[in-house]
Amino acid sequence: MPAAEPTSSTDSKNERIAALVRDTVGAAPVHANRYRSTWAGLLTDEAVGQTPRVAGWVHRRRDHGGLIFVDLRDRSGLLQVVFDPATCGADVFQAAERIRPEHVISAEGELTLRGPEHVNPKMLTGTVELRATSLDVLAEAETPPFPVDEDGPVDELLRLQHRVIDLRREHTRDALLLRSRIVRAIRDAMEDEGFLDIETPYLTRSTPEGARDFLVPSRLQAGSFYALPQSPQLFKQLFMVAGLDRYYQVVRCFRDEDLRADRQPEFTQLDAELSFVDEDDVIAIFERVMARAFVAGGLDLPRPAWERMPYDEAVLRYGNDRPDRRFGLEIQELSEALSTTEFKVFAGTLSSGGVVRGINAGGLTVPRKQLDELTDIAKKAGAGGLVWGFVEPDGSWRSPIAKFLTPEEIEAIKTTLSASPGDLLLIVADKAPVAANVLGVLRLELADRFDLREDRNDVLWIVDFPMFEGTAGDGTNLGGGRWDAVHHPFTQPCAPGGAPVSAEDLAPGGAFNDDETTPGDLHSRAYDLVVNGWEVGGGSIRVNRPDQQRAILDLLGFSAEEADEQFGFLLDALKAGAPPHGGIAFGVDRLAALCAGRDSLRDVIAFPKTSSGGDPLTGAPAPVDTKQLGDLGLRSTIAPPQG
């Protein structure tokens, strides 16, 4: 017998994930009927001698002069089916000659062992084959627009236009199977922790939560609009006031934002809220929940309790509040080392309250062209420029600014950055938030360019966030700006160190709103979970007193009338007696992408949108006819597309 051709393979990580997912398919046995009696991908040596019936798609067909080999594919995987006229008969063999890739078939026969020389280790069923005795062709298929039996690159727009075909491919299908396994583990964990699965409405009112709402016009109340929820934040707090104590749902959320690889206009999150808890309670519970989710997803993480890092430390060392710690290049403070410098760029920045910070990029080979590219990246991230320099073998510093610094200052820079001969040093002088952001962007860029990340997983909680930030971008609202909530206005503020803050403290002239202290000095009782540089979840302890909530809204610029109009239902609920409560939400799409080793959320969403927000499969968004608009009391000011 000719050797069976090998099936397509993916990288070792996805092979492991695929095997993990297929192992769970057997938890739901197929109901035997005239189409099939078992999953094709679950047949192993233990079933040899049985006569199963399997059904699925023709993944690959090979004609070997008198024998026809078909790799039959269903959700569970592949099974080789052999059509031999000596055992299946002439009629069945002739039918097998006519089938083509992606035809839908059902076949029955004896399961036999392959000879040792024909075993295919790349298939979970690679030691067995079905010797067919019958064949039913259930549906024929046109030639697909791209190969299903290969996982090579295909233009993304083409894949999304033909998403049904793309979902048949192993790489795409296994990501969704993995996602399903993760969600099931989450639900099991939440039920075990005593949470109730309760739905919240999709049609609600628009509230300012940081992103644009998707609006839905009302036909019955012309001129009024619903909004699709950015999150169930207010409703889950109402559940706590109602005494339901522990709520969760796996819920769709909607935000009308510009898109990128890790953002979609509609996304799925695990949403949860708990009563009579503090930060430690929430973190402890969701470490257990997330540990089970990561185990289900095959992501090897250290076991809880996970490290906690203050926000300020994360930003200082890594440039952002979602640090990727799988490589070094930590940011160092150079302001003190250069406090007496006469170099105008550094001296001017320091005298105006800014900072000088840098990173040691190590002994990387970076030609001038790439240094110019890094400088352009720094400027796009907000910096006025980028200082670079190489430490020479004799200890000197080769840099465009070397002549402007004293030997003592150069030595201080090298010492602070722990520099050795051959190291590349990158320095930014600017306001603290700008310097942090720029150097954070640069360290990630270097990690991408030079493959610096270690082959391990990293997890930590970011805690002790600022409560408010000024619109000036430097943590203040000097110059007449306003205050914004870093998370959202329902997060409970606290003083540095955790002391409680009252409504009176937030009022004009209060302890955190006077001539010496500002709301920018306040911290919040918030917490984010970060895995491999991705923020996968975040939450906070909430405000549970109406006077404090009103004080926060007032500080954010809401008049009493505006607060009542937009948040009156929450404020009224808090008057009814609200327990101390807090919650958290995790991005299911991000969890699945992390576990599947994918860079884009689109890879783990069944029907994702493109970067422009479109759906190539259905053509959404699309114009609607004039009558539909008229029913809603609307008129379009945009001319319909021509052609």
Instruction: Report in angstroms the alpha-carbon separations of 57 from 33, 63, 97, 265, 281.
Output: 17, 17, 15, 33, 49
Tracing tokens 């006031």 back to the chain, one arrives at 241
Please report, rounded to a whole number, the percentage of residues in the chain having pLDDT higher than 90: 77
Local structure of residue 512 (DSSP, 8 states): T
The ranges assigned to domains in the chain are: 12-143, 327-453, 467-521+546-573
Give the model's confidence band at 210: pLDDT under 50 very low, under 70 low, under 90 confident, else very high: low
The mean pLDDT of 507-514, rounded to a whole number, is 88
Q: What are the tens digits of pLDDT across the range 171-205?
A: 899 899 999 999 999 999 999 999 999 999 999 98
SS3 readout for 247-298:
EEEEEEEECCCCCECCECCEEEEEEEEEECCCHHHHHHHHHHHHHHHHHHCC
pLDDT at 26 (0 to 100)? 64
pLDDT at 437 (0 to 100)? 96
Tracing tokens 């670079």 back to the chain, one arrives at 388
Tracing tokens 């067995």 back to the chain, one arrives at 128
* Contact between 329 and 362 (Cβ < 8 Å): yes
CATH superfamily of 12-143: Nucleic acid-binding proteins (2.40.50.140)
Q: Is residue 570's pLDDT more than 80?
A: yes
Please report, rounded to a whole number, the percentage of residues in the chain having pLDDT higher than 70: 93
pLDDT at 69 (0 to 100)? 96
Write down the mean pLDDT value for the chain. 91
Q: Is residue 301's pLDDT more than 90?
A: no
Q: Is residue 576's pLDDT more than 90?
A: yes
pLDDT at 257 (0 to 100)? 84
Work out the angle between the directed axes of helices 588-596 and 279-296 (0-180°, nearest 10): 40
Backbone angles phi, psi at 90, to 5 degrees: -65, -40
C-alpha of 348 from chain center: 40
Give the model's confidence band at 122: pLDDT under 50 very low, under 70 low, under 90 confident, else very high: confident
Closest CA to 597 of 97, 119, 6, 15: 15
Tracing tokens 């919040």 back to the chain, one arrives at 524
Q: Is residue 12's pLDDT more than 80?
A: no
Angle 409-412-415 from CA coordinates, rounded to 5°: 155
Q: Is residue 61's pLDDT more than 80?
A: yes
Give the model's confidence band at 2: pLDDT under 50 very low, under 70 low, under 90 confident, else very high: very low
Q: What are the tens digits of pLDDT across the range 395-417?
A: 899 999 999 999 999 999 999 99
Q: What are the tens digits of pLDDT across the range 23-35?
A: 666 666 778 899 9
Q: What are the tens digits of pLDDT across the range 520-556?
A: 999 999 999 999 999 999 999 999 999 999 999 999 9
Partnered with residue 358 across adjacent β-strands are 332, 427
Check if CATH label 3.40.50.150 holds for domain 327-453: no
Q: How buried is residue 108: exposed, middle or buried, by Cβ count under 10 Å (0-12/13-18/19+)? A: buried
Distance CA 407, CA 402 (A): 9
Give the model's confidence band at 3: pLDDT under 50 very low, under 70 low, under 90 confident, else very high: very low
SS3 readout for 76-115:
CEEEEEEECHHHHCHHHHHHHHHCCCCCEEEEEEEEEECC
pTM summary value: 0.90
